Amino acid sequence: MQFEPTMICENKTARELYEAVKANPARARFGFGKKLAIVNVDFQQAYTRPDLFPKTSYVTDPRQIEYTNQISALARGRGMPVIWTRVAYKADAGDAGVWGTRTDTPDSLQNIKVDSERHAFDPRVKIDEAVDLVFTKRMPSAFFESPLQSYLVWHQVDTVVVTGGSTSGCVRATAVESLSRGYRTIVPEECVADKHESYHFANLTDLQLKYADVVGVAEVVDWLNAGSN
């Protein structure tokens, strides 16, 4: 039995497709649960500072870090976990695995070394070292071989809000694994970024349709503020 291809082909940009999905009032939502965690993925200079690292960094919404700091502060103020990840490897990149084998230039992933300028958090992010969970990861998902899962279980979290970059890489990987582990997963649109709008909006569309609620950051702010009244 043989069928003709059924894949839809149309002359629309990734942004247009995303806006159409976003505008659908009938789409189902996972919604917020009882307690959330903010998982801020890779707000490090390699990815947030085009003045220092123009080949690897990206800015989608100029207020991304401001918004992320805002919802992190609100969550922290309600006793809800805030997590910050970043990526780096040891001197010989032996812990980068197969992910580190595709290229080997000064800008390559495996050449983000521990305690380097590329590993450093962007100075604009507001981390409370005494309260927040901060760790270095080595693979796309913030859950992979990290303390994140046990931390969320201990804090009885049922909802994960994912921010950071890139939308098509570590944000997506973290969001998909979050859903796979049973968490309601939320991605505030203004709080994620990518290098190219095609990757960014294509992955927001896929996340919205399958793995997460992609919402305006104001919705996260409103939910956090409502709980403190």
- Active site residue ranges: 170
A 10 A CB-CB count for 37 gives 22
State the DSSP string of 41-79. E--BHHHH-TTT-TTT---SSTTHHHHHHHHHHHHHHTT
Question: How many other C-beta atoms can be found within 10 angstroms of the C-beta atom of residue 82?
Answer: 23
d(CA 50, CA 137): 22
150 Cβ contact list (under 8 Å, min separation 6): none
Q: Where are the alpha helices (DSSP H) in 62-155?
A: 64-77, 148-154
Cα separation, 67 vs 150, in Å, equals 27
